[in-house]
Amino acid sequence: MKTSTQAHIAVLFTNFFFATNLSLVKHISPGLLGAYGLNIFRVGGSLLLFWTLWLLAKNKNGIKKKDIPRFILCGLTGVAINQMLFIKGLTLTSTIHASLLMLTTPLLITVSAFWILKEKLTRAKALGLALGIGGALLLIFSREQQGQAGLTGDLLIMINAMSYTVYFIIVKPLMQEYPPLHVIRWVFSFGFLLILPFGWQESMDTAWPLFNWTHYAALFLVVFCGTFLAYSFNIYGIKHLGAGVTGSYIYTQPVFAAIIAALFLNEDFTAAKIISGILIFTGVFLVSRKTPPVVEE
């Protein structure tokens, strides 16, 4: 099998794992394990696996002192804020809402590019931003929301997407300086230290006596497949396919998430979800599409 084919399969599985995570998390949190406590197991377990890979690797280089502040900031935005708010928001809103709102990440990255990098705002991208943001607002303020908790959950998911946008921008120089797996290992290391004060007590209060085999299986899958394998497969895809192609697979996440949620969590498709999904998908497509070069005659 060609390396490129393997990479496409890996990235597809990455997004399937991320989508499956949404339903798995709801199976154990917040009922048996607090959202922040779950992150202790999720990040900590994955961190052990990443360091195990490092021990087995031939090249055991460290990081430069000048890059430590950037690694810490990446740990804050890419792990601490990102993952804590995502899990907390997910426990308050529906999996379909969460998966669709995560699609706003490319929209936020585009806004940041206009603001920070002074990129040109084309009509297509402006229309894409308007459609995507409109779809997100429709989803957040739709009448189907389950009270204040649902609204809070959606807003936490949006803040999580903003945090990941910052991480996406500041991690790029590190990806150019170090191997991707090396970067993720250190980002997770600093991120784990930052989430410890928030999640340690909740992890200690886990209702282990109430766990059955499905809960243990869900926790294992969240850590091993939904975090460790997902991140490992994703960087494999970036290495062999590029960030653009790898990122485009994010469109599959809401599809996987909606099917799984409908089958196992009895979540239904409403008109607001369908219309919001169409608007967000269209918006992300427009802002992600490359503008063809102008040919001078």
Question: Where do the domains of the chain lie?
Answer: 3-288
User: Measuring CA to CA, how many Å separate 58 from each of 55, 63, 111, 183, 231?
Assistant: 8, 16, 41, 16, 21
The 10 Å CB-count burial string (b at 16+, else e) for 132-155 is: bbebbebbbebeebeeeebeebbb
In terms of pTM, does the model score above 0.95? no
For residues 286 and 276, give the distance between their C-alpha atoms in angstroms, rounded to a whole number: 15
Residue with tokens 């239904």: 268
Q: What is the DSSP letter of 295?
A: P
Please work out, in degrees rounded to the nearest 5, the angle formed at the alpha carbon of residue 135 by the alpha carbons of 280 and 130: 80
List the structure tokens of 84: 């804590």
Query: In the prediction, which pLDDT does 108 show?
Result: 67
Report the amino acid identity of residue 7.
Answer: A
Any idea which residue has 């360091």 for tokens? 51
Name the residue among 189, 169, 171 with its Cα closest to residue 180: 171
* pLDDT of 245: 65
Q: What is the enclosing helix (H) or strand (E) of 12?
A: helix 3-28
- E strand intervals along the chain: none
pLDDT 10s digits, 139-194 = 666 655 556 667 788 888 888 878 877 887 788 788 888 888 888 899 999 999 99
Low-confidence ranges of the chain (pLDDT < 70): 104-121, 136-137, 139-149, 242-245, 247-248, 251, 264-269, 284, 287-297
